[in-house]
Amino acid sequence: MEKRISPIGGSIKAEVSGRAPEAFLRECVQQGIPLWSIQRKNETTIICSMKQPDPEWLREALTRSGCRIRILEKKGLPFFVKRVQGRMGIVIGLLFFLGILLVLSNMVWSVQVKGADPRLEAQIRTLLSKQHLYPGSLDFFVPNTKQIETQLSAKLSKVTWIGVSRDGTTYRVDVVQKKYPRKGKGAGPRNIVATKQAIIQKLYVEKGQPVVESNQFVKPGQLLVLGRIGDEKSYRFVAAQGQVIGETWYETQVQIPLSGRYTLYTGKSKTQYRLKFWNFPMPIWGFSNHPFPNADKETENRAIRFLFWKMPIDWQTITFREKKQITRRLSLQEALDEAGEAADQKLLGQLGPNAEIVSTVIDKKTVRHRVLFISSHQVVYENIGRYQNFDSRSEKAKLKKKVENQRN
């Protein structure tokens, strides 16, 4: 029944005594003061609970009914506030303590990096601290683990796989490092052979004996640099080392639409921060809900934690990125230029790192349904050599036979 009484107002439990305590009850009812849990203690006394009455009225009502009151208990906020006022220090301390606990609950306590050598670990830690992830940073400012993963793997070349996970206040970064085979050392005797049909342009031979010349036409699999030095009688096997640049030819097909619609980000963005209580958002920073007429919206929620529990309060970051639609129309000449470039890019993507396109010639061009189709051929200078190991013992035997045959 106490629920009927608003929790804001205080209530009292009192002992009313007099010749006829019922008279006091009647006074209360008349005044509209709710009463509850009324018990008769003895002939002259009743115990009752009531809403905190106005003291002036109470005094009058008591004289009218000829009763006396003794307050046994005071309940409710007004009394609580009064009591608390005397112990302000404790209250402030308590709030301060809760505040600190809240901050500490949302702090990153440790970042563990596993599977990285010390140098890489240091590198990872500096990259992480640029993204506000270090022991002692607040959790709201740390981007989510997926973003960290992509950022890290984009910047670290020595890493095969990187995984970031969060467990409460601890972040774990698991790293699988690339293991390179030891270079040079241990490479056995080998030749360099051609991988493609080409015309030899240049030969950079560090070790071995070149068997082809510039401007010579070679076929795939043809020997380019021999892994043997000396003549046929006194020789030594070596691991051939070097680059053979050959001229190769490619044909590429590319299509380019003459008009198209594109969506571009303009680069402008606005960020809004909010605290979300259950489903009710409260903006903290950035109040406009539609800063751009055309924008993409990214929402990220971070639950605020208290000790081990997630509270129903979220720290929400909303980023609006302005975008615009562009209709592009190309003239035939522009489209041709672009197609040529696209063809070169497409080809370079398929070739090795040191390939160089020397010339591009567009052979065929057709426009169908406002799409330009071109077919072009390119002349490329690239490394056409490939190492091919051989067994030195069998090679020796072969040579021996050859020498013997010559002798015979």
Partner 1 sequence: MKKKWTRQMKKWFSEISDIPADIIMDLPKVTLVGQSHLSIENYQSVVHFSDNQLILALEKGELHIGGEHFVLEVILEKEILLEGLVKSVQFVEH
**Binding site residues, partner 1, CB under 8 A:** 1, 4, 21-22, 25-26, 28-30, 32, 34-40, 46, 48
In whole angstroms, what is the distance from residue 131 CA to residue 140 CA?
Answer: 12
Query: In angstroms, what is the minimal distance from the CB of 17 to partner 1?
Result: 14
Taking the least distance from each CB to partner 1, the nearer of 76 and 189 is: 76
The string of DSSP letters for 306-364 reads ETTEEEEEEEEEEEEEEEEEEEEE--HHHHHHHHHHHHHHHHHHHS-TT-EEEEEEEEE
Q: State which residue, 48 or 218, has the beta carbon closest to partner 1.
A: 48
Of the pair 36, 306, the CB lying nearest partner 1 is at: 36
- Considering only CA atoms, which of 213, 209, 204, 203 is closest in space to residue 189? 209
- In the bound complex, what is the minimum distance in angstroms from residue 132's beta carbon to partner 1? 58
Question: E strand or H helix at 93, and its extent?
Answer: helix 88-105
* Residue with smaller CB distance to partner 1, 51 or 190: 51
Minimal distance in Å, beta carbon 60 to partner 1?
18
Beta bridge partners of 379: 249, 359
132: left (phi over 0), alpha (psi -120 to 50) or beta: left
Q: How far apart are CA 67 and CA 28, in angstroms?
A: 13
Strand order, beta sheet including 67-75: 45-51, 11-18, 67-75
Smallest separation, CB 67 to partner 1 (Å): 13
Other CB atoms within a 10 A radius of the CB of residue 193 amount to: 19
Question: Toward partner 1, which CB reaches closer, 46 or 142?
Answer: 46
Please report how close the Cβ of residue 46 comes to partner 1 at its closest, in angstroms: 7
| Smallest separation, CB 106 to partner 1 (Å) | 46
The least CB distance from residue 307 to partner 1, in Å, is 40
Q: State both tokens at 140.
A: 């709201």
Whichever of 30 and 405 has its CB closer to partner 1, that residue is 30
In angstroms, give the least distance from the CB of 2 to partner 1.
9
Q: Token pair for residue 157?
A: 């070349």
Please state the φ and ψ torsions of residue 335, each to the nearest 5 degrees: -65, -40
The residue (of 26 and 396) whose beta carbon lies closer to partner 1 is 26
DSSP secondary structure letter of residue 354: T
Apex 226 CA angle, 224 and 227, nearest 5: 140
Backbone angles phi, psi at 146, to 5 degrees: -60, -45
Burial 372-390 (b: 16+ CB within 10 A, else e): bebebebebbbbbbbeeeb
Q: How far is the CB of 33 from partner 1 (least distance, A)?
A: 9
Q: How far is the CB of 52 from partner 1 (least distance, A)?
A: 16
The span from the CA of 51 to the CA of 8, in Å, is: 11
Phi, psi of 265 (to 5 degrees): -85, 135
Quick one: 1 or 8, whose CB is closer to partner 1? 1
Residues 6+ apart with CB under 8 A from 53: 12, 28, 31, 33, 61
Nearer CB in complex with partner 1: 36/140? 36
Which one-letter DSSP state was computed for residue 57?
Answer: H
> How big is the chain by its Cα radius of gyration, in Å?
43
| Nearest-approach distance from CB 76 to partner 1, in angstroms | 17
CB 160, CB 173: distance < 8 Å: no
Nearer to partner 1, 38 or 187 (CB): 38
Nearer to partner 1, 46 or 374 (CB): 46
